[in-house]
Structure 1
């Protein structure tokens, strides 16, 4: 874990952003390849997307808002070091435009939910997908509060998918969390408090 942290610190902001983009492309590519392996065709994806306004608002948007509120509460009561991700999210979002934050949050939400809910949860179940989602956030493994927070969020979003069987819902929930927390990082004064789960 320490080695990864040191490697990240050696990257310029531009190189860090390239790494994030490559990671999201790899996750999206893996989800497409694995969907062909496990599902046999791409039609299954179409069955997992339902653009129902009520469902998306209630299970997607509201879920995202609840997660953000709980996150902000926990960040207010725990010492800053408990939520410190090594400054990665600060570097990714602090000087980024709103459109840039939107694009980064959307890319992460789509690629990660396609893989973890669309493929892994659909194939192997809720628990495995939720745990794997948390574990891939390697830099959080040495931060118990941060890791448990990500794990609980993963189970919560996974449960929303279990209820709805709708990838649009979980993508919206994930996007809402990352976009709002990214905006908070971007616009807060004095730096430092929301160093959380946004993007890898």
Structure 2
């Protein structure tokens, strides 16, 4: 199964991978809208999950996002590269993108995933169920025990912060910070390696 998935990914061009990333996020948002119409009494009940004036957006969301990225960056330096091997998918998605495109991708991923998993599922079914589904939906990580453990712990952590703050904007911003900074890190690490080979 792992080999079949890896082969399927290799057959796709970088452009096709990015297209599939956007398509996946649109599908998740569509699912969120459908479930939201079923599980919430009205739109007002859903919009109460967003508090744009909450200082916890920067303090907790931004702070926790930076802590996760710093921890990840530290572990990348310490652990063997095989621990972070996702089959090269993240590298292929981010390596040739502009900073603004990485920001756009990170924004779309964080908004769609947090609305569905925290705003819709966790609000109505609970932290454990939402966190497990969030981890499983990141299918490629199932083949690497470290990445799978990583995504489960991260999912529970984001879910816990949502429980504490009650504000979906906090977790969206945290998720954005993580994806954006790691995407930029992958881009520059790849560019640096290419520069070394070209010398």
The answer to whether the superposition gives a TM-score over 0.5 is yes
Does structure 1 residue 135 correspond to structure 2 residue 101?
no
What is the CA deviation profile of residues 140-169 of structure 1, one whole-angstrom value per residue up to 9, with x for unaligned ones? 111111111111111111001000111100
State how far apart, in whole Å, the 1-side matches of 2:5 and 2:113 are: 21
The farther-off stretch of 46-55 and 172-181 is 46-55
Does structure 1 residue 77 correspond to structure 2 residue 82?
no
Map of 1:94 onto structure 2: 95
Map of 2:66 onto structure 1: 65
What is the CA deviation profile of residues 63-94 of structure 1, one whole-angstrom value per residue up to 9, with x for unaligned ones? 10011011112212211011111111101111
State how far apart, in whole Å, the 1-side matches of 2:161 and 2:66 are: 14
Aligned residues: 191
Does structure 1 residue 12 correspond to structure 2 residue 13?
yes
Q: Which runs of 5+ in 2 are unaligned?
A: 195-199
TM-score, normalization: structure 2? 0.93
SS at 1:141 equivalent: helix
The farther-off stretch of 104-113 and 132-141 is 132-141
State how far apart, in whole Å, the 2-side matches of 1:21 and 1:4 are: 19
State how far apart, in whole Å, the 2-side matches of 1:88 and 1:167 are: 28
Map of 2:125 onto structure 1: 124
Map of 1:196 onto structure 2: none
RMSD: 1.1
Map of 1:187 onto structure 2: 188
1:6 Cα deviation after fit = 1.4
Give the structure with the higher percent helix.
Answer: 2
1:53 Cα deviation after fit = 4.5
Map of 1:35 onto structure 2: 36
Paired residues for 1:160-179 under 5 Å: 160-179=161-180
State how far apart, in whole Å, the 2-side matches of 1:82 and 1:41 are: 44
In the alignment, is the contact (CA less than 8 A) between 2:40 and 2:46 conserved in 1?
no
State how far apart, in whole Å, the 2-side matches of 1:14 and 1:177 are: 23
Q: Which runs of 5+ in 1 are unaligned?
A: 192-200
The structure having more radius of gyration, on CA atoms, is 2
What is the CA deviation profile of residues 174-193 of structure 1, one whole-angstrom value per residue up to 9, with x for unaligned ones? 000000001111112117xx
Which 4+ residue blocks in structure 1 deviate beyond 4 angstroms?
A: none
1:15 Cα deviation after fit = 1.0
State how far apart, in whole Å, the 2-side matches of 1:178 and 1:172 are: 10
In the alignment, is the contact (CA less than 8 A) between 2:25 and 2:112 conserved in 1?
yes
